[in-house]
């Protein structure tokens, strides 16, 4: 099904190429090398990493927290060097789910460096009714924004499409 959606996208938007690299165990160094290569050929305007905790550091003998900090810092450097926006999805700790509360910056998993390096952090919170059932809304919590305001925005959540808004 996803292959059909990707094919439909490439047919509908031939001038907006979508390149997906889904190699397992990709390192931040491999991502950096590929991004520089694509930028040099004129084929990179945006990089999306889904998700940071799946990226591997070259030095796996260091504690995971240090690895995540290294990866986070290198994503920041990559965005600045190539002058492109970089969107990176990150996993959160289980605190918000187990305590039934909206997520906060401190819930970013495995490293405070993610919070430090990010220019903008948007956290997602699924709204539920008192019985715990989804309300059909999701709150975007703009927890950090170096270029503007922070705050919250509630939008419709279309779960069957994995779509917000």
My answer on whether 40 and 13 are in the same domain is yes
The count of domains in the chain is 2
Q: Regarding predicted confidence, which is higher, 16 or 114?
A: 114
My answer on whether 64 and 6 are in the same domain is yes
Range of the domain at 28: 2-118
My answer on whether 11 and 81 are in the same domain is yes
Residue 56: CATH number of its domain: 3.40.50.300
My answer on whether 79 and 32 are in the same domain is yes
My answer on whether 45 and 86 are in the same domain is yes
Q: What is the pTM of this model?
A: 0.82
My answer on whether 56 and 123 are in the same domain is no
My answer on whether 154 and 113 are in the same domain is no
Confidence of residue 122 (pLDDT cuts 50, 70, 90): very high
My answer on whether 144 and 79 are in the same domain is no
What does each C-alpha distance from 117 to 112, 114, 133, 148 come to in angstroms? 9, 5, 35, 16
Could you read off the pLDDT of 7-57 as tens digits, one per residue?
A: 887 888 888 778 888 888 899 999 999 999 999 998 899 999 988 888 988
My answer on whether 9 and 74 are in the same domain is yes
My answer on whether 51 and 63 are in the same domain is yes
């Amino acid at each position: 099904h996803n292959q059909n959606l990707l094919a439909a996208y490439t047919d509908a938007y031939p001038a907006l190429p979508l390149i997906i690299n889904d190699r397992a165990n990709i390192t931040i160094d491999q991502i950096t090398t590929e991004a520089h290569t694509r930028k040099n050929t004129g084929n990179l305007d945006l990089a999306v990493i889904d998700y940071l905790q799946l990226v591997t550091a070259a030095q796996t003998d260091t504690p995971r927290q240090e690895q995540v900090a290294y990866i986070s810092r290198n994503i920041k450097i990559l965005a600045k060097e190539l002058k492109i926006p970089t969107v990176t999805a990150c996993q959160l700790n289980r605190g918000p789910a187990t305590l039934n509360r909206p997520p906060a910056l401190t819930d970013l998993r495995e490293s405070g460096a993610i919070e430090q390096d990010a220019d903008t952090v948007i956290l997602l919170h699924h709204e539920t009714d008192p019985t715990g059932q989804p309300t059909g809304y999701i709150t975007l919590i703009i927890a950090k924004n170096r270029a503007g305001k922070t705050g919250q925005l509630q939008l419709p959540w279309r779960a069957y499409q994995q779509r917000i808004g």
